[in-house]
Structure 1
């Protein structure tokens, strides 16, 4: 039995190494795809931007883990049912299980926002942006929180960052117009 263990140990190690290389190269390909989609989004016309936004959202939702995908779905279902506490529980399990999955942090931030827990929501959005600095929905979430706590200058800055990434974001132009007098002052 000792001989079998000594033979299997390097084989298992080699398989683990191959899986790590395979998984990381897949992640790099997804990251490259996202970078390409976001680059196209910046220059797209409104109809193309809408399509690209859908593709980007789909890519963001891919965790690479069936368990993480399950927790994301359970949290989303809880939000739809209006069970915010359950959603926070599912999303907390998700970020514990997959801390490098930005969408988990964004989703929990949304649930925290719905529960009026703005401090934890900001922390989660910051975690998401540390993983994916181009996550315009996370930046938009920060803008919404800044607006909710009556910090129009910060909200305007966040929404401006979203507009730079996604010029045709459905809510950004209106938010910028609404906040401009508060953020920049009114002309006399």
Structure 2
């Protein structure tokens, strides 16, 4: 714990001495995200929806400035390399530096999810969604985290909210006949 705090303090000190004492506002891609989600809902195939969905990541991962982008990119790279402690170090620094940037919380939640710390993931996903309510990946991650916590009715509601934005999500199969969330709340 002391090492993590020292690393976080070091990252923040580096940002401050580099002239990045305060994070600027995150780029506002709200209209673009809404337009892409509309196109996804109109997509006739999963393949088309997947390509459109990839463009959402370009918008969500557009960090507020170069320092934030570097922390995000390194955190995501470390996560991809299964260096979860290193990823958390970078994403903790990103969230501390840019507390109004939703993707910092979403990416940190993904690391927690991969570590099976669903409660921590859920806290970050809730923060990401407070900042970006139509972040379909955070909604889907919220559903999966609730599922991991065996909070099945809440998981179903979160997944339904995500599917209202993107009906092509792979997680939709959890609600399909035979899926673990299919009959929740229904008389069978």
For Structure 1 versus Structure 2, the TM-score category normalised by the shorter chain is 0.7 to 0.9
Instruction: Spell out the pairing of 1:4-153 with structure 2 (5 A cutoff).
Output: 27-28=27-28, 30-46=29-45, 47-153=47-153
Cα distance per residue 1:65-91 (max 9 Å; x no partner): 111111111111211221111111110
TM-score (norm 1): 0.78
SS in structure 1 opposite 2:180? helix
Q: What displacement does 1:64 show?
A: 3.1
Change (3 A) 1:40 1:110: same
Gaps in structure 1 of 5+ consecutive residues: 1-22
- Kept in 2, the 8 Å contact 1:129–1:135? The answer is yes
Q: Name the counterpart of 1:162.
A: 162
Post-superposition offset of 1:130: 0.8
Q: Which has the larger radius of gyration?
A: 1
Q: Distance in 1 between matches of 2:82 and 2:182?
A: 35
Deviation at 1:112, TM superposition (A): 1.4
| Inter-partner Cα distance in structure 2 for 1:66 and 1:117 | 30
Of the two structures, which has the highest relative contact order with CA contacts closer than 8 Å and spacing of 6 or more? 2
- Per the normalisation by structure 2, the TM-score is 0.78
CA distance in 2, matches of 1:100, 1:52: 25
SS of 2:140 mapped into structure 1: helix
Flag the structure with higher helix content. Answer: 1
Change (3 A) 1:93 1:145: same
**Contact 1:136–1:165, Cα closer than 8 Å, also in 2:** yes
Q: Paired residue for 2:20?
A: none
Q: Is the 8 A contact 1:162 1:172 kept in 2?
A: no
| Corresponding residue of 1:183 | 184
Indicate if the aligned counterparts of 1:38 and 1:165 stay in contact, CA closer than 8 A: yes
Secondary structure, counterpart of 2:161 in structure 1? helix
Secondary structure in structure 1 of the residue aligned to 2:175: helix
Do 1:42 and 1:165's aligned partners in 2 also have CA atoms closer than 8 Å?
A: yes
- SS of the aligned residue for 2:116 comes to coil
